Amino acid sequence: MTESRVHHKLSPKEIIVGIFRWFLIIFFAAYTLFPLIWLTISSLKTNFEFLALSPFALPAVPQWQNYVNALSVAGLGRMLLNSVIVGLLATVFNVIVASMSAYCISRFRFNGREKIYTLFTAGILVPLNALMVPYFVIINKLGLYNTYGGMVLLYCAIGIPMSTFLIRGLMDSIPMDLEEAAYIDGCGFYGRFFHIILPLSRTGIVTAATFEFLTCWNEFVFANLIVSSEKLRTIQVGIRYFTNQFSTDYVSMYAAIVISIVPSILGYILFQEQIISGMTSGAVKG
């Protein structure tokens, strides 16, 4: 549809709209790229340059040493890997459980449905910091302190209300008669879920998965609370290696952040190409 519009003569109004459109596109791009550029430049300064001179000046000599410092943190690679493992596993379990419950809540009128949905909604709002003590006890009682399992379970669990909410929102928009038709054709509960609803809800599932993964990736409080072994530390712990209440090595911290961003951006690009595009153009089976 875009192509057909390109060739006819543009009216002044269309030109103004076009300029405005590009202004917005570029403004938002600059707004989001600026932090990344600033961060990279800051990661090449000395602490003196960063603290005592203008924070927006360029470094006199690029300090690659900061990257050496950042990489010297024992097991930064391991931390990245841990974040990926925990994040992916928690996300997979999370969206499986959440899409199952979202399906039930969205498609069936059973007793207590509204109460359950209210419970999920309230769950989104719980400030998790308040739950440090109970979560610590639960994870310990389950024998999962200091294990991948504990982190995966906790991350999967805390994201359930949000994921259910996101997936249910999408499932609600799928017309009921589609499923009813399948039902009349003799398609069972599982068949309808796997062959009709799940493929049609991919947008919601991907939204929930992205949200869940980012939550895991950025989570620090519980990662620190329920794990003690260095082998299980996640990248957020690594980033904080250079911050200390009494002496922060800002520039090395920025280098560590840049290092930690690279895989997530690459991951995102891969993720979006593979999944978002597939999701929006894929054929749907009925």
Partner 1 sequence: MKPTRSDRSALAAFMAPALIIMLVFFVIPVIYVVVVSFLKWNGISTASFTDIQNFAKLFNDKAFVRSVINNVIWALVAGFIQVPLAMVMAIILSRKPRGWKFFRTVYFFPQVISGIALATLWRAIYSADTGLLNGLLRSVGLGSVARDWLGTVDTAFPAVLIYWVFYVGYYMVIMMADITTIDTSYYEAATIDGASDFQQAIYITIPLIKRTSLLTCITLASVLGLRQFEQVYMLTNGGPANTTSTMVLYMYKKLQDTNYGMASASAVVLIIVGVIFIVCIRALFNIGNDEVRAQKKVRRAVK
Partner 2 sequence: MKKLIALLLALVMVFALAACGQQAAPAQTGEIVINFPSIWVGTDSKAEYMGKLIEAFNAENAGAIKVVVEEQTDYQAYRDKIRTTITTGSAPDVCILDTTFDIKAYAESGKFMDLTPYLDAGWGKNFTDGAFDAWSVDGKVSILPFESAVFTPIYNKTLFEKAGWDHFPATYDEFFQFCEDCKANGINAMGQMAGDNAWSSMLWYSLIVEAIGGKDVYANGLKDPAFVEAAKVLKQMYDYTFDGAVSATAGDVNGHFIGRDTAIYLNGPWWIANFYKEDNAVDGKLLADECEVAVNPSYGDGKGNGGLVTTVQGFLAAAKQDDPAKEAAVVKFLQYVTDPTHVSELALSSGAMFFVKYTPSPDTNVISQKVTEVANSAEFTILHVNGAFPTAFSTEFPAAVSALVLGEVDEQGFVDMLQTAIDNAA
> What does 84 interact with, of partner 2, partner 1, none (CB < 5 to 8 A by kind)?
partner 2
> What does 141 interact with, of partner 1, partner 2, none (CB < 5 to 8 A by kind)?
none
Element (H, E) at 27: helix 12-42
Q: How far is the CB of 107 from partner 1 (least distance, A)?
A: 5
- Is there binding between residue 60 and partner 2 (CB under 8 A)? no
- Is there binding between residue 89 and partner 2 (CB under 8 A)? yes
Cβ closer to partner 1: 64 or 189?
A: 189
How far is residue 98 from each of residues 101, 103, 110, 192, 202, measured CA to CA in Å?
5, 8, 18, 17, 13
Residue 284 structure tokens: 């749907």
> What does 179 interact with, of partner 1, partner 2, none (CB < 5 to 8 A by kind)?
partner 1
Name the residue with tokens 């994040």. 87
Among residues 228, 265, 269, 280, which is the contact residue for partner 2, using CB under 8 A? 228
Residues 6 or more apart in contact with residue 159 via CB below 8 angstroms: 90, 91, 94, 98, 208, 211, 212, 215, 216
Q: In this structure, how many other beta carbons lie within 10 angstroms of the beta carbon of residue 172?
A: 14
CA distance 213 to 207: 10
Q: Binding marks (x or -) toward partner 2, 175..214, rule CB under 8 A? A: ----------------------------------------
> What does 23 interact with, of partner 2, partner 1, none (CB < 5 to 8 A by kind)?
none
Report the site for partner 2 in 135-174 (rule: CB under 8 A).
Answer: 136-137, 140, 146-149, 152
Among residues 166, 237, 257, 258, which is the contact residue for partner 2, using CB under 8 A? 237
Cβ closer to partner 2: 40 or 146?
A: 146
Q: Binding marks (x or -) toward partner 2, 16..55, rule CB under 8 A? A: ------------------------------xxx-xxxx--
- Is there binding between residue 72 and partner 2 (CB under 8 A)? no
Q: Is 128 left (phi over 0), alpha (psi -120 to 50) or beta?
A: alpha
The DSSP secondary-structure symbol of 240 reads G
Residue 260 structure tokens: 């930690």
- Is there binding between residue 118 and partner 2 (CB under 8 A)? no
> What does 80 interact with, of partner 1, partner 2, none (CB < 5 to 8 A by kind)?
none
- Answer yes or no: are the C-beta atoms of 97 and 156 closer than 8 Å: yes
Taken as a whole, the chain contains a residue count of 286
Element (H, E) at 217: helix 202-218
